[in-house]
Amino acid sequence: MSHGARVIRTGVSSGGPTAPPPVTVASSSAGSDAELIDGGYFRSCAGMLKVAQMISLLIGFISVNNSAWTDYSAYSFFQIVTMCDLVMILFFYIMHIFRVYRKLTCVSWPLAEFLHYLIGTILLLIGSIVAAAKSYNITGLVAGATFGFLATILCVISMWSSYKVSCITQSTSK
C-alpha cells in the first residue's frame, strides 16, 4: 500500500544535465486516502458479515421485546446482551468505514475487536441458551432465541476470520 506520490527512475543518461525523474501518483491509494468514507468496506466480506450480525441481533431483540415474557431475568439478560453486542458491532463498523483506526494508533484495534467478539459471543451464547430453555414454545421467544443463535454463529465466524488475519499478519512480519 502506497500513501502518496512515488518516484520511479527509468534510467540515467551519460551526458548532460538530467531531467528530474518523472513522478507518478498511484490514483487508487491517493484517492482512497482523501475520501472520508471507505466504500470498499461496505462490499467486503467483513462489512457484510457485520451488517448480518446487526440485523440478526436487532430481529432477536425485537422478537423478544414484543412477546409475552415468562421469565423476566432470562429475557432481560438476553435483551441487554443483544443490545450491547449490537452497539459494539455498530461501533466497530463505523470505525472501519470512517478509518478511525488509522488516526488512533495507540489502540490495538484487531485485538480490541477480537476480545469484543470473544466476550460478546460467549455472553450471547449463554443468553440464547437460556432464552431457548425458558421460551415455553411461545413463538416470539423462540424466534428471538433462534436469531440469537444465528448471531452467535456469525460472531464466531467473525472471530475466526479476525484471528486468522491477525495470525497471518504477525507471521509474515518477521
**Can you tell me the mean pLDDT for 130-158?**
94
- For residue 29, pLDDT beyond 70: no
- Mean pLDDT of all residues belonging to the chain: 82
Domain extents in the chain: 47-172
Binning pLDDT at 50, 70 and 90, where does residue 130 land? very high
Grid cell at residue 126? 449463554
Grid cell at residue 78? 438476553
- For residue 23, pLDDT beyond 90: no
Give the pLDDT confidence of 46-104 residue by residue, as tens digits: 999 999 999 999 999 999 999 987 778 889 999 999 999 999 999 999 999 999 888 88
Q: What is the pLDDT, as a whole number, of residue 9?
A: 47
User: What is the C-alpha separation between 60 and 169, in angstroms, rounded?
Assistant: 35
Higher-confidence residue of 150 and 32: namely: 150
Site of grid cell 450471547: 124
DSSP alpha helix (H) spans, the chain: 27-34, 39-43, 45-65, 72-97, 100-103, 109-133, 139-172
CB of 101 within 8 A of CB of 95?
yes
Please give the model's pTM, rounded to 2 decimal places. Answer: 0.73
Distance of CA 159 to the CA centre of its chain: 9
Q: What is the pLDDT, as a whole number, of residue 1?
A: 46
